[in-house]
Amino acid sequence: MRHIWRKGLALALILCVSVSGVGCSGNKKDQKDKPAATEDATSEKATPVPKVEAGGKGKDKSDVPLVVACNKLDKKFNPFTAETDDDRIAVDMTQLRLLTFDREGAVVKHAIKGEKRRFNGETFSYEGPANLKVKRDREKDTTSYIIKLRKDLTFSDETPVTIDDVIFSMYAFADSSYQGEETFGSLPILGLQKYRKSASALDISGIEKMTDYKVKVTVRGYDRDAYQALNIPICSLDFYGDRHIFNVLAGSFGFKKGDLSGLTKKKNAPFGAGAYRFIKYEKGIVYYEANEKYYRGCPQTAFIQLKEIGNMSDVRKLEALENGDFDVVTMQATNQAMDLITDANSSGKLTGRIYGGKLLDGDYYHYIGMNADQVCVDDKPDSTRSKNMRKAFSILFSCNRSNMIELSQKGAAQIDYPASQISWSVPQPEDEEYKQAYSEDVDGNGIYNSNMSVEEREAAACKAALGYLRKAGFKTKSGKITAFPENTGKKYTIYIPDDTQEQGMLTIARNAQKLFKQIGIKLVLKEHCSLARLTKHLKQGKAQIWCGKEETSVSGDMYRMYHSRQKKNKTAGSRNYLHIKDSDLDEYIEEGMDTVPLKKSIDLYAQSYNKILDWAVVVPVYQERNLTVFSTARVNLETVDQNITPYYDWTQDIQIVEMK
C-alpha cells in the first residue's frame, strides 16, 4: 500500500529533478515571457484553464524558477488518470490533499486550528485544510470519519472549496471505472459494493453530506491505514465535473456513474487549490506559477518547472545539478553518491559550498529473520531456553551492524525495531522505553561501550552470547561450547538472496559466521540464493535463518507478519515466516489495530515490539535512505525544511522555499 502521500510526492521526487516558476508579482515585466495557460497539456487549441491575474501578496517575490528533476512523464496530468510517480508529482503540485500528517506519519486531527507535536527533539506546528473526528461503534463494528473543511479555502481561480467538491472527488475515486492509484475505493465503505453493482443504487450510504463544509464517511470495522486512503486530492467539481448534474439528494454526483471519461476528456491540465498553478507542458518540462490564493500564503518562489531527465546515473545527476541544469534532485543514498557530495563540498559534510544534501528514509528496511520452529532448544520454540538461544544468535548477528553501515551503506540508518525508524508506531531514541536491539547481557547489563574497537565489540558479543547459551542449557568452557542440549542443532543455515547481498547483508552474515565458529557453532551461508527459492522455503517453513527486507509503512504489517494465525481471517499471520505463536502478542496486535486514540495505540505497538524482540526471531539491521540534493548556489537552504521524512518531505512547505 502506498504510504500516505509521502511516497506519492516525497519519494517520487527521487525521480523528479527540476522545477521553475514565475512569481506572484503583478509586474507586467514579469508577465512578458510567461507561457500561456492551456486546458489540455498536449493540445495547442485547448480552452484556457481558469485563472486570476497575479498580484497582491505576491509582489516582490523572486521570479527565479526552481527546477526539480524527474525521470519520465507519461503526460497524464489529471488526478483521475495519473498513474506513474512522475505524473502524480506533476498533478500534486497543483492539488490540495484532504488530510494532514506529521513527520512520523500520524494524522493531525485538528489541522484547521493547528497542532504542535514533538519530533527529533524539536516542536513542530502542523496546519491543514480539514479537521478529522473518528467515532468507533464497536457494537455495530463500524467507524465513522467526520471531515470538516476550513471555510477560507479557494481553488486557484478564487472559487470556494466546499464539501461538494470533496463528495464529488470521493464518488469519482470510488467509481467502478476509476483505474488510478488512489485507494479510497478500496475502503469497506457502507453501501459501496451495492452502489457499484446495482443500477438501482443511487448513492453510497456510507458517504453522508452533513453541511456545506462537513461530510461523514462510515466504514465496516476499523483500520488505521484508512487515514491514508481518505487523503484524496480535493478536485474541483466545476472544473472536472458537471455541477448541473450534481445533486446529493437526487443521487447525482457530477458525472455519469460508471463512466469517468467526462472528467478526463480534454482536461489533461491539472487544476486545484494547491500552492502552484499549471501553465503548460512543453518539450519535457511542466511549467507552473505560484497560486497567490494558496491558503498557507503566496509561495515565495514564483515559478517551478518539473523537468524530465531520463535514467541518469547518480554521477551525471550531480554534475547536472552543479552545472545548473536543475536545482533539486533525489537519488538513493549510496556510498558513491555520499562520497561525491562530501568530496565536492570540501567539508566532509552533505551540505557545503556546492550541494545541500538531506537524508530521508527509503522504501525498505533490512533484517535477519529466524524460524522459531527451526531454531530452538528441545523442539520447544516458545520456551525460555529457546528464546535465550536465539538471543545469543541475535547478539552475534547484530554486533557489527554499525561497522557494516559505515563501510557498505554510509547513507543507511541503523534500526533497533523491526519497522521503519521514522514512524509514530516505533519508539524513538529520545523515548524512555527506547532500547538498542540485543545490547544487554543475560543479567541486563550493557554489552558495549562507545570506546570499543570492532575487535573489542566482537569479544564482548561472544562473551554475552555464551551467557545466554548457558541459560539455554548449553555447556561452555574457555569461551567454547562443550555440550549442546538434547534435540538442538549444531549447524544452522542462513539464506542471503542476491538483492540483499549487494546492500551489506552479506558482510553481516560473514562476520557472524566467524563469531559462530569461534564459540563452536557452524553457520552455513547460502549465498546468491534467488528470492523465489527463499520465498518457497519460507512458505514451506524450511528456512532456518535468512536475510530479508520489508517495505516501510506507517504502522508496519504486524497482522500478517507476527500474528499466530489462530483467527479465521486469512490475512492473519499469512506472512508469519518467523513462526511466532504468542497469544499475548496476538492480543496486542488486534487491540492496536482496533484502537482509535493514538497514545493507546503507541503503547500497544511498543508492547508488541518488545514481545517480538523477546522471542528473538528478528534482528533489525538498517533502514535504506534516499538523498534529496539541492543546489547550494541557487536555493536558499535556510528556507528548506531541515527535518524531512517520508511522511513530511520538503514540498510540504514548498510555499516558503526561496531562491537566491
pLDDT of amino acid 406? 75
pLDDT of amino acid 361? 85
Over residues 157-162, the mean pLDDT reads: 96
pLDDT of amino acid 78? 95
Residue 421's SS3 state is: coil
Mean pLDDT of the chain: 87
State the span(s) of the chain assigned CATH 3.90.76.10.
6-306+648-659
CA atoms 496, 502, 503, 505: torsion sign: positive
Q: Using 50, 70 and 90 to split pLDDT, how confident is the model at 31?
A: very low
Q: How far apart are CA 578 and CA 374, in angstroms?
A: 9
Is 308 in contact with 284 (CB distance < 8 Å)?
yes
Query: Lowest mean pLDDT: which of 44-53, 157-166, 452-461, 641-650?
Result: 44-53
Q: Is the model more confident about 178 or about 568?
A: 178
CA atoms 563, 565, 567, 569: torsion sign: positive
**φ, ψ (nearest 5 deg) of residue 140:** -90, -10
At 234, the amino acid letter reads: I
Q: Using 50, 70 and 90 to split pLDDT, how confident is the model at 504?
A: confident
State the span(s) of the chain assigned CATH 3.10.105.10.
364-550
Tell me whether strands 303-308 and 66-70 are parallel, antiparallel or unpaired. Answer: parallel
| pLDDT tens, residue by residue, 272-331 | 999 999 999 999 999 999 999 999 999 999 999 999 999 899 999 999 999 999 999 999
Q: Is the model more confident about 621 or about 20?
A: 621
Is 400 in contact with 439 (CB distance < 8 Å)?
no
Q: Using 50, 70 and 90 to split pLDDT, how confident is the model at 551?
A: confident
pLDDT of amino acid 503? 66
Over residues 369-380, the mean pLDDT reads: 96
pLDDT of amino acid 32? 31
The Cβ-side half-sphere exposure at 2, using a 13 Å CA radius, reads: 25
* Cell output for 489: 542443532
Closest by Cα among 138, 144, 146 to 110: 146
Q: How far apart are CA 383 and CA 486, in angstroms?
A: 14
Domain 6-306+648-659 has CATH 3.90.76.10: yes
Q: Is the model more confident about 335 or about 36?
A: 335
pLDDT of amino acid 135? 96
**Residue corresponding to grid cell 506529521:** 102
Task: Report, in angstroms and rounded to the nearest whole number, the Rg of the chain calculated over CA atoms.
Answer: 27
Domain 364-550 has CATH 3.30.1370.140: no
How many helices (H) and strands (E) the chain has is answered by 18, 24
Q: Using 50, 70 and 90 to split pLDDT, how confident is the model at 608?
A: very high
* Cell output for 550: 520489508
pLDDT of amino acid 572? 57
As a whole number of angstroms, the longest Cα–Cα distance in the chain is: 87
Q: Is the model more confident about 565 or about 128?
A: 128
Q: Using 50, 70 and 90 to split pLDDT, how confident is the model at 429?
A: confident
Q: Is 472 left (phi over 0), alpha (psi -120 to 50) or beta?
A: alpha
| pLDDT tens, residue by residue, 343-363 | 999 888 999 999 999 998 888
Closest by Cα among 619, 610, 568, 566 to 588: 610
| pLDDT tens, residue by residue, 198-250 | 999 999 999 999 999 999 999 999 988 899 999 999 999 999 999 999 999 99
pLDDT of amino acid 370? 98
Q: Is 346 left (phi over 0), alpha (psi -120 to 50) or beta?
A: left
